[in-house]
Amino acid sequence: MNQMTNSHILVNEFDYLEPASLDEAIALLKQYGDRAQVAAGGTNLVIWMKMEQCAPAYVINVGKLPGLTGLSFQDEGLRVGPLTTIRALRNAPRVQATYTGLAEACAAFGSAQIQMMGTVGGNVCNGSPASDTVPALLAFDAQLTLTGPAGKRNLPIADFLLGPGQTALQPDELLTGIHLPQPQPGTGSAFVKISRVAADLAKASAAAVIVRRGDEIVACRLAFGSVSPTVLRAHRAEQLLAGQTFSAELALEAGQVASEEVTPIDDVRSTARYRRQVIRALTHDVLQLAWERAGSQAQDSEVEKPKTPPTTAPGHQGVLAKTLHVAHGETHEIELTVNGRRHRLAVRPNELLLNVLRERLGLTGSKYGCGLGECGACTVHLDGQPALACLVLAVAADGREVLTVEGLQGPNGELSPLQQAFIEHNAFQCGYCTPGMLMMTQKLLEEIPAPSEDDVRDYLKGNRCRCTGFASIVRAVLSAGRPVDR
Ligand SMILES: Cc1cc2nc3c(=O)[nH]c(=O)nc-3n(C[C@H](O)[C@H](O)[C@H](O)COP(=O)(O)OP(=O)(O)OC[C@H]3O[C@@H](n4cnc5c(N)ncnc54)[C@H](O)[C@@H]3O)c2cc1C
Ligand code: FES
Ligand code: FES
């Protein structure tokens, strides 16, 4: 890490722009070119800016643009709006049933907070070989729609990926659609990932889509992440599998071939040697899973279709009547409702929600830990969804409802049942992580009133505690959940 990095603040000054329409967003991109950076969920961009890896003069927040969020299931396949959050994709029953490998990739992704903030479009456009949704999208042969001043163009995701951090996206273009073809009958898919800890980028990942007829592999697409300059397909391994009778030995053989096709490097997460070795095992595992599902998976026609598609991507409401432009160094008045109280505040484009809450509103319950989205200590709720306040631009939170740990207590200052459970189970020592733990598990209990231990641990995979250990925290949350027959 750059020694000058101060992850508490955003050092860089920039103009903040919120376009009111797609056309205006494109016009702004055309005007400012590579001096501008697009922000969707901001989970990559804000970190790059904090780490001083990029210093855009203009930040164009497309996160509130209408029409770019949500899932639409059609006869010819699935259309995904690029602003759809990773969490919304993961939780959509029809994605889980029909595009299982993609739902699995989203579930394997970072922390619950990052899944709730990060978008699938941001994951694709950042061009990282470690992007978790990309192997699954490549294995499903996704087509991307890019929109620029000259209109729309479509290209396969394979042609979009050019190198680490490099894509075919032009500076004046936006990703405006992702289309996954309807899988053939007898299709099964899977995604597997190996990482240093649960909430980390992949050391290596693999996605497979298999079409099965009886014992025969009719066709197979295999894609790998974190083992080459871009996410890539293993064409030779695919050819070895096509038309063959499936067996564990064949899957291992395909793994050997795939491990010769990838070109991994040594980096902070792993060594090239380990990555090449592990690809053999990951290939076997992902093929086995996809194969079993191809034999048993409900076809799309059998999956219960909700009347309205599951399109929830929280926090992307509030379309503007006209483009907002706040010049660097200037302030813009925002309205925040925090724990039920309205506040009007003048904020600069590079102020962060966490600093506003702590330093300007005196709400010091939300903690600054890492400043980089990794510890969860700053977790608050934004319009009811957990969000990492250290990664949220205050100006982008205009008009939104914020709940901090101070807002969990009742009207007379009484602690919530969850807070009481933390005390009863000695679920903290220094208490620094506790506000973030409470905000996450409060939401968990709203979503799953009687969670399992796995649910609690999965929800807390992005929250760090350096002194208590997780056992008593998990016990506290389970005891605060609704009693069920376990
Ligand atoms: C703690 C932590 C853990 C993480 N874990 C994972 C993980 O496990 N797996 C993983 O894959 N990633 C992970 N990430 C990376 C990141 O969260 C994802 O890549 C996320 O999907 C990015 O989406 P976003 O909307 O936040 O992108 P942003 O930060 O808003 O944008 C990312 C890039 O894409 C561009 N962009 C975004 N949307 C568009 C669009 N519609 N059109 C054109 N350009 C666009 C932006 O200009 C920017 O260059 C992690 C990040 C953090 C901080
Ligand atoms: S301070 Fe925000 S995640 Fe660590
Ligand atoms: S109680 Fe100290 S960091 Fe968790």
Q: Supply 52's token pair.
A: 């001083």
**Which of 212-217's residues contact partners 24+ apart within 8 Å by CB, and which partners?**
212/186, 212/187, 212/188, 212/246, 212/291, 212/294, 212/295, 213/186, 215/245, 215/246, 216/243, 216/244, 216/245, 216/246, 217/241, 217/242, 217/243, 217/244, 217/245, 217/246, 217/291
What is the per-residue pLDDT for 469? 81
Residue 174's nearest CA partner among 130, 121, 117, 116 is 121
What is the per-residue pLDDT for 483? 63
Beta-strand relationship, 379-382 and 401-403 = antiparallel
What is the per-residue pLDDT for 296? 74
What is the per-residue pLDDT for 201? 86
Where do the structural domains in the chain lie, given as residue ranges?
15-64+329-405, 71-302, 410-480
Give the CA angle between residues 37, 39, 41 to the nearest 5°.
155
Instruction: Tell how far the Cα of 86 is from the centroid of ligand 3, in angstroms.
Output: 28
CATH number for region 15-64+329-405:
3.10.20.30
- Is the CATH number 1.10.150.120 carried by domain 410-480? yes
- pLDDT averaged per 10 residues in sequence order, the chain, 486 residues: 73 96 96 96 96 95 95 94 97 96 95 96 96 98 98 98 96 97 96 85 94 96 95 97 97 97 89 94 97 74 42 45 92 98 98 98 97 96 97 97 96 94 95 97 96 95 90 96 61
Render 192-259 in DSSP notation, one character per residue: EEE-SSSSS--SEEEEEEEEEETTEEEEEEEEEESSSSS-EE-HHHHHHHTTSBP-HHHHHHHHHHHH
What is the per-residue pLDDT for 301? 47
HEC letters along 380-409? EEECCEEEEHHHCEHHHHCCCEEECHHHHC
CATH second-level architecture of 71-302? 2-Layer Sandwich (3.30)
Pocket lined around ligand 2, Cβ cut-off 6 Å: 368-371, 373-378, 388, 390
Beta-strand relationship, 174-181 and 77-80 = antiparallel
Pocket lined around ligand 1, Cβ cut-off 6 Å: 37-45, 47, 62, 82, 86, 109-110, 114, 117-119, 121-123, 125-126, 130-132, 169, 174-175, 201, 373-374
Instruction: Tell how far the Cα of 437 is from the centroid of ligand 2, in angstroms.
Output: 12
What is the per-residue pLDDT for 202? 86
What is the per-residue pLDDT for 304? 46
Rounded Cα–Cα distance for residues 332 and 263 (Å): 48
Q: Supply 39's token pair.
A: 């922000």
What is the per-residue pLDDT for 154? 98
Instruction: Tell how far the Cα of 124 is from the centroid of ligand 1, in angstroms.
Output: 8
Atom of ligand 2 nearest to the CA of 391: 2
Instruction: Tell how far the Cα of 8 is from the centroid of ligand 3, in angstroms.
Output: 20
Rounded Cα–Cα distance for residues 249 and 255 (Å): 10
Domains 71-302 and 410-480 share a fold: no
The Cα-based distances of 16 to 122, 172, 396 in angstroms read: 18, 17, 9
3-state helix, strand, coil in the chain (%, to 5): 35, 25, 40
**Would you put residue 214 in left (φ > 0), alpha (ψ -120 to 50) or beta?**
left
CB 442 within 8 A of CB 416: yes
Rounded Cα–Cα distance for residues 343 and 330 (Å): 19
Q: Which residue's alpha carbon is nearest to atom 3 within ligand 2?
A: 373
Residue 115's nearest CA partner among 465, 414, 443, 448 is 443
Question: Within its chain, how far is the Cα of 400 from the centroid?
Answer: 21
The finding on whether 428 has its CB within 6 A of some atom of ligand 3 is yes
